[in-house]
């Protein structure tokens, strides 16, 4: 039995609940676990490892008996409670965007840059889901050929917007089939049978907040401050798992054959690349598991040299894109004894 006292803030949400599931799957042992949420969720009973645990309302006093805190709440709530936890000596693994671009906070995908954990000062940040999927797929290709530029389109499932996104798609499909009036609250427009090229507010040059994350976070994770990324993010009527079309330009030559060889051995990646037999990554196949499926690896025919490739990847953004990545960071923190209390 570990002496670690664990806390989960946002334990009743989609990602927080998934964190608990993954911790049980991995059979990670702790001295104690405290589940925290809003006043609205306080008092609920959660079954965990054959025990009933009562959800507690998070307050400033909630962190006195916690060593490591997993945070699965909004940025605003994280900014309110994470500093309090850190002040009390807690090591925080934050899934929100609150501290991702803070120079003093490591932004970690364990398969890519687990060594950055060693430099934390109380907070370790979990990247955006689309960023995690992309950098996991590309990491070993980058190590071999040095990626300099990326052109990316993401096709993001409604569960990326949380439980409200899932429910809205289900509700709209049901009502449209029965010729009933629908409402659009989680998204700007009807999402059923539609695509919406708008995730987050737009900046002054027309790129959304979500689109800028892949460049800004990718630069930090890869330690490549000059990495160039052009990204378009689209919400699609898929329940779970994000998909990404990625074209990379590299400093060194990278053939399709070499890329496939590298991808077949990349941690966290499953190569599914046999288009002649209709085998390639799809959201249905990648949901409820933790690998990033990569396929459709092909030469960029708009480039005359061997320094540009295109590929397609899919990954479960609730698991590897959020909860699993955080739990993997947790495992590394324990392994490295990098917690503070």
Which amino acids are annotated catalytic? Answer: 129, 242
3-state secondary structure of 123: strand
248 within 8 A of 149, measured Cβ to Cβ: yes
User: CA 285 to CA 274: how far, in whole Å?
Assistant: 15
Q: Name residue 123's beta-bridge partners.
A: 92
User: CA 192 to CA 274: how far, in whole Å?
Assistant: 31
Are β-strands 123-125 and 68-71 bridged in parallel, bridged antiparallel, or unpaired?
unpaired
Lookup: tokens for 187: 């998204």
How many C-beta atoms surround the C-beta of residue 163 within 10 A? 13
Tell which residue, 61, 65, 78, has the closest CA to residue 13: 78
Q: HSE, CB side, 13 Å, CA atoms: give it for residue 47.
A: 1
Annotate 225-261 with DSSP letters as a single string. TT-EEEEEEEE-S-SS-EEEEEEEEESS---HHHHHH
What are the residues whose beta carbons fall under 8 Å from the beta carbon of 78, sequence distance 6 or more? Answer: 9, 71, 94, 96, 98, 99
Cα 65-71-282 angle, rounded to 5 deg: 145
């Amino acid at each position: 039995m570990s002496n670690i006292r664990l806390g989960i803030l946002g334990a009743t949400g989609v990602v927080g609940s998934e964190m608990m599931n993954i911790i049980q799957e991995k059979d990670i042992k702790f001295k104690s676990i405290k589940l925290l949420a809003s006043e609205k969720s306080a008092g609920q009973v959660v079954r965990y490892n054959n025990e009933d645990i009562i959800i507690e309302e998070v307050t400033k006093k909630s962190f006195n008996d916690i060593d490591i805190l997993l945070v699965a709440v909004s940025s605003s709530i994280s900014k309110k409670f994470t500093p309090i936890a850190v002040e009390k000596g807690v090591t925080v693994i934050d899934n929100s965007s609150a501290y991702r671009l803070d120079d003093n906070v490591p932004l970690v995908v364990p398969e890519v840059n687990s060594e950055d954990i060693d430099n934390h000062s109380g907070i370790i940040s979990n990247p955006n889901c689309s960023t995690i999927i992309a950098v996991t797929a590309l990491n070993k290709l980058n190590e071999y050929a040095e990626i300099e530029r990326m052109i990316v389109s993401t096709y993001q499932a409604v569960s990326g917007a949380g439980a409200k996104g899932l429910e809205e798609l289900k509700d709209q499909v049901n009502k449209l089939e029965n010729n009933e009036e629908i409402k659009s609250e989680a998204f700007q427009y009807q999402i059923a049978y539609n695509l919406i090229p708008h995730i987050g507010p737009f900046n002054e040059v027309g790129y959304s907040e979500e689109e800028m994350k892949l460049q800004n976070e990718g630069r930090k994770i890869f330690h490549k401050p000059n990495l160039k990324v052009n990204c378009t993010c689209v919400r699609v009527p898929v329940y779970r798992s994000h998909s990404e079309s990625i074209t990379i330009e590299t400093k060194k030559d990278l053939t399709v054959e070499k890329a496939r060889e590298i991808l077949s051995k990349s941690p966290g990646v499953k190569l599914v690349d046999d288009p002649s037999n209709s085998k390639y990554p799809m959201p249905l196949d990648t949901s409820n598991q933790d690998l990033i499926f990569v396929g459709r690896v092909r030469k960029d025919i708009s480039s005359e040299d061997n320094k540009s490739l295109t590929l397609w990847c899919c990954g479960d953004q609730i698991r590897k894109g959020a909860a699993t990545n955080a739990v993997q960071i947790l495992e590394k923190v324990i392994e490295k004894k990098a917690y503070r209390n």
